[in-house]
Structures are given as structure tokens and as C-alpha cells.
Chains A and B, each alone.
Chain A
Amino acid sequence: MKQPQMNRRSVLKAGAGLAGLAALGLPASAFAQERRLRMYWWGSKERADRTLQVNKLYQNTYTGVAIDGETLAWGDYWPRLATQTAGRNAPDVIQMDYRYIAEYARRGALLPLDPHVGKGLDLKDFPPSVVDSGKVDGKIYGISLGGNTSSTIYDKDAFAAVGLPPPNLDTDWKAFAKLMAEFTKAAKRPGYFGSQDGGGLEPIFEGWLRTRGQELYTPDNKLGFGEKDIEEWFAYWADMRASGGCVTPELQALDKQNVENNMLTLGKAAIGFAHSNQLVAFQSLNKSKLAMTSYPTGGPGAKPGQYIKPSMLFSLSARTKEVDEAVRVLNFFVNDVTAGKILGVERGVPASAPVLKGIAESLDDLGRAMADYIAAMNSRVGPLPQTPPGGAGEIQVLLRRVNEQIGFDRLKVADGAKLFVSEASRILARG
């Protein structure tokens, strides 16, 4: 396959008329440099600013290389990556999500990094569990850009106002339900509730399952739980809705599982569930002071429900022409302390201990809260679950839909459980 970037000159010469006109719109920089790498990530403007700054730093340190940054928002990111990959024109350095890495790695789109470990890619400061989190079927396909775990984000001021203690690291599921019902009663505001409805959210369902010693999926890609289990789960949230502990289905349906439509942001609930690295985003859209704790637990002696997962990874395209250069960029992002200071904890808490130590004092309050939370959770988490099977994304949507069907009284709890298990099995069989 030809490298399009190299050939712009020839395109211009060849397609005189139209091409000449169109070239008015070409950036001048496209004609400069000799060796170029394409780096692609999703995220906000803030992430773009930080990443581009590190790229500049890299280009100043190692001259002769130019990194073309390409950035889009999450929703736009994946269709373009899929299209480029299908066209064998993927960027060299690709920001990956834990959900998608297996899809891409198993289909041969990503470069196995094992041969470069110790030779250009330094992972000696990485805890083994973090290295493992970038593995698919035993090979390393991605390097964590930061650690992350699920969290319960709550409105500190609201809890103070009603005089109830906010949930903490030891609150179990039962106590959580009770607390939420009490909160709603105490708050006495129509349309304002203790918690969002978490019944349709896969991460929190997974956390609940794991406190019971179960998993979402078995190693042979079947459901790791039965009809009775998920019936209990749906019933927990049905009771919660009945007691007023969580929002109504009409409200929850406004939530599109992003920061700006979360029940907390919309002022409908005092509690929202999110990833720990989203605290900053939540705070920027909320007037009152927010804080963070873990998901409810299974009580004393129960297994830990949560795990630390990479919030984002960097992977390399299997077709990159500049393997060594790309590895060096990757290494720079995860091991260089100056780069780490620029990146902060915007993508999650860095895995390398020296980097984390190096950036500690430059963190602001929210950044420190995030780092402290991860540090506190380190002793309260379980191992990573196995890589999700094909169809996992579809099942995630199914969970949400069935919880809605129950919420809107279209299905009884038991029928919802039955429907979920039969449809999920169908999806898994199709793969």
C-alpha cells in the first residue's frame, strides 16, 4: 500500500486543474518534514492541548521526526479509526480503549509490543498487573496511559445540607439503598433523588456481581451468572425506584452515559456513577462541591467488586512503517517525567511510580483527590476480569434496555431477567 502523505506533490502535479484549486485548502505544513508519525486520540480540547505540548517537547528532544496529531471526540473517533484500519491506513500511534483493544488486536490491526520491551520500551516501573491490562491473548498490545477505576461521585454539599453521611469505602449494597431512600426523604425536593438508576449500567452490575464472587463472562465466553442473579439485580433497582432512593425511569432515560447528561450534572440526583478520571469533568459542570468514593461493597469478608483498569492505552498500528520511532514516542509518553508533568492525571493516574512521584506536587486539588482515591483503592480491588468476548458491547446495550423496560413497566422483573439471559446468549452465540 502506498503512503499517501509522501505523494502529495505528485498528486498536485498530476491532477493539475481541480487539484490545483483544491490545494488552496491544503495546509502548508503538509509539504515540510521528512519522517512523520501520525498519532490519533479522542478527547477534549484540554487533552489535545496537553498531548500536543508533549509532542512538541518530543520533537525538540529528538529532532528529525514530526508527529501529526489527529484528535476527535469519542463518538466520532471510532468510525474513522475503523474506516482507516479497513483501508489499511491506520495512524501509527493509536489511543485505545479497554473495550476495543481486543477487537482490534484479535483482528490483527495492532502491533504486538513484547519484542520491544526492554529494547526501547521500558516497563520496569510498571506493576505487572498494569502490564497485563494491555495484554490480549497473552501478548502486549497496549500500554496504559493511566489507571482508573469505577467510582461513586457525590454532591458533598447536598449531603451536608440534609445532615446525612455520604457513602464511603465501606458502605455495602444494603446500606446504600437505605441511605439513598433516607436522602430523598430528607432532601424534600420534588424531582430530586438520592442516586441515579444504576440498573442498566454494566460497570456497576459487574462490580455487584464480583462482590458475589461471579463474573460477567466465563473463560469460554458464556454468561458468568444465571437468571436468578440478574433477577436479583433488577429487583434491587426496582425496590430502589419504589422507595424513592433513585431517580424515575423518565429521568434516567435522559442520561446518555456521559458527563453532561448524568443525573448528578442535571441536578436530579446527589449521586452519579462514573470513572475516577471523570471527576474533573463532573466538577466543571457542577456548582456544588463533589467528592468520590467506591461503589457499594459486598460487606465484610466479601470479595472486592472493583479493579484498576487502564483508562486509556496507546497501541501501535500493525502496519506502521516507523516501528522504532513509534515505540520511542510511546515510551516517552509513559516514562518521561517532564512529559508526565504536562499530561498530569488527565488520562488517569500514571502507572510508573517514578512518574507519579515526579508529578505529585504539580497536581491540583482534584488531581490529588483522584490520585488519593486510586491509592486508597489499590488494596481494595480484585484482579482484572478476562477480556470481554465478541458481542459484549451489544450486551451492554441490552442491559440498559431491559432495565428501562422494567422501569417503564413494560416487563416484570422476572420476565426481564428471562429476556436478558435468552437475548444475551443469542448474542454470544453469534459472536
Chain B
Amino acid sequence: MTTKPNRSLPASFAVHGALLAASLVMLYPLLWMFASSFKPEEEIFTSASIWPTALNFDAYVRGWRGLDVSFGVFFWNSMVISVLSVIGNVISCSLAAFAFARLQFRGKNFWFALMLGTMMLPYHVTLIPQYVLFLNLDWVNTNLPLIVPKFLAADAFFIFLLVQFFRGIPRELDEAAMMDGCSPWRIYYKIILPLSLPALATASVFTFIWTWDDFFAPLIYLNDMGSYTVQLGLRNFVDSTGRSDWSGLFAMSSVALVPILVFFVLFQRLLIEGVATTGMKR
């Protein structure tokens, strides 16, 4: 850790007091959502209380049964897509980022600008051309439109993120390696990647969570209920025109948070340990 906690006791109290108060503001919605999963339906919209009036697990049983298909299937589908996306994103984006951050080649700035440009177009207008493209590839109603782009570094956010981190790694390191006759591949694999664990962990966390939370791409590309993701399943509890299962929604929303929380907690260790274990010297 950076510095030893050598603060005075009152200062320490103040810091923790502030953090706890802030935590309450941050946690409130989660607590409310959790409490609402136990509330009778007619209380949900009139009460912001986080104390359930009764402890009733009906909503969890009802919610887990899901639509025709159990929620377990939705979890499995989301898990497959999210895990593959993490793998694909980390590999392909770190490759591209290495090229942009460390290698010299003609047209680099041109491609970099185009890469950034792909972040700027609202996806609603590329939706139909992209749908037609995937339809012609026969990928609609499979997971391919959700996964293949991740293996092809389609999300420029992550390339840009890793570029920024790679550029922070002292250049003497790879110049020295270059002198020793190391290939770019070895520099990428042996120097850059190990030194970027916090950044790679960050990319993994975001990829997992954002893929897990995404509903628009699954909404458009997955037709069969058996292939629905958690987010699609959740959106079926509620319909603005008719009778909805609100406590079921809140129950399953709470359950749906578990995997991303677990993933976050696991990877945040990596995020913290990153530098300590590399023992980087300048």
C-alpha cells in the first residue's frame, strides 16, 4: 500500500464518517431494490422506504421460473457471452493498443483517428445496416453478433484505454529489449502485458459488466426465448401497457447483480496487486 495510516484518530474518524455517509447515498438504490422485492406490489410505487414490511420470497421463486424458460438459462447465456467477450476484448484490444502505442507504421494516425471515430456515431442509425449484414452472414438469432465483434476489437473505448496505459510504461524498457533483439511480439507479451495488469483488469471488469448489462444488442439479435440474456429476461417482467410483475423484476434484478459483483470483487484484487507484484524499477 502507498502510505501507512499515520493519521490522528479524529481525522481517521472523520474520513470514515464521510465515507460511510457517502456509502449510504451510493447503496440506497440497491437496498431499496432489494427491499422492494419483498414488498406487496401496491406499495412499490408509493414508498421509498428500504425496510420491507414483510419477508416474502415468493417473488424469487416466481421470478426464477421466468418465462417459459427458467432464469437459470438466461444466466447461463449471459455468462457465456460475457466471459467470451472478456477474453476477446482483452486479447484483441491489447494487440491493437500495442500497435498504436508502441509501433511505428505508415498510416498510424489515420487509423487511430478512424478508430476514435467509431465511438462517435450513435448506434441507432447503424443498427439496420448492421442487422442486414449479420443477417446475410446468417448470424441473426445466434450469439455471434454479440461475441465476434469483441474478438475483432470493435469497441474502441478499450483500445484507447489501453493505449493510454501502455504509453505510460517507460519506453526505456522496450528500447532496451529491442537492442537485445527482442521481437515486437516478445515485447508485447513479456514486458507490456505484465506491466499493465491494472489496466487489463480494468478492461476485463468493464467488458464483463457492460456486456452483462447490455440489452440493446441482445434485444435485436436474439429471438428465441431460450437464447435470451438476463437483461432481456428482466425486461419481460414489466410491460408499460399491462399487468407487470414488479416484485419479480426487483427480485431477479437483485439476483442478476450477484455475478457482476463477484466478478468485480475478484478482479479488483488484480487491479490492486498489479503493480506490487511486478516490482517495476526505473
Contact surface of A with B, Cβ cutoff 8 Å: 1-2, 4-5, 7-8, 10-11, 15, 18-19, 21-30, 38, 42-49, 52, 68-76, 79-80, 83-84, 86-89, 91, 256-261, 265-267, 275, 277-278, 280-281, 284-287, 346
Partner of B223 from the list A48, A68, A266 (CB cut-off 8 Å) is A68
Whether B45 contacts A260 by the Cβ 8 Å rule is yes
Partner of B68 from the list A42, A43, A52 (CB cut-off 8 Å) is A52
Q: Is B254 an interface residue (CB 8 A)?
A: no
Contact surface of B with A, Cβ cutoff 8 Å: 41-42, 44-46, 67-68, 73, 76-77, 80-81, 84, 127-128, 131-132, 135-136, 138-144, 147-148, 151, 215, 219-220, 223-227, 232, 235-246, 248
Whether A45 contacts B236 by the Cβ 8 Å rule is yes
* Residue with the highest number of chain B CB atoms closer than 10 Å, among A19, A26, A52: A26
* Binding site secondary structure of chain A: helix
Supposing A22-B84, A22-B148 touch, asked if A70 and B223 sit within 8 A by C-beta, the answer is yes
> What chain A residues lie within 8 Å of B81 (beta carbons)?
25
Report the minimum CB–CB distance from A26 to chain B (whole Å): 6
Q: Once the chains are docked, how many angstroms separate the CA of A305 from the CA of B248?
A: 39
Partner of A44 from the list B80, B131, B142, B239 (CB cut-off 8 Å) is B239
> What chain A residues lie within 8 Å of B227 (beta carbons)?
25-27, 30
Q: Once the chains are docked, how many angstroms separate the CA of A23 from the CA of B144?
A: 8
> What chain B residues lie within 8 Å of A46 (beta carbons)?
242-243, 245
**Those 3 A-B pairs whose CB atoms lie nearest each other, nearest first:** A27-B226, A258-B240, A281-B243
Supposing A5-B141, A44-B239 touch, asked if A70 and B225 sit within 8 A by C-beta, the answer is yes
> What chain A residues lie within 8 Å of B238 (beta carbons)?
44, 73
Whether B240 contacts A265 by the Cβ 8 Å rule is no
Report the minimum CB–CB distance from A259 to chain B (whole Å): 7
Supposing A25-B80, A83-B131 touch, asked if A285 and B42 sit within 8 A by C-beta, the answer is yes
Report the minimum CB–CB distance from B109 to chain A (whole Å): 31
Q: Once the chains are docked, how many angstroms separate the CA of A163 from the CA of B229?
A: 51
Residue of A whose beta carbon sits closest to that of B241: A74
Apart from A11-B142, A47-B242, 17 more pairs, CB < 8 Å: A7-B138, A8-B138, A8-B142, A22-B80, A25-B143, A25-B227, A26-B143, A30-B227, A45-B237, A76-B235, A80-B220, A83-B128, A91-B223, A259-B240, A260-B244, A261-B45, A280-B243
Report the minimum CB–CB distance from A265 to chain B (whole Å): 6
Q: Once the chains are docked, how many angstroms separate the CA of A46 from the CA of B68?
A: 11
Supposing A18-B147, A26-B227 touch, asked if A43 and B140 sit within 8 A by C-beta, the answer is no
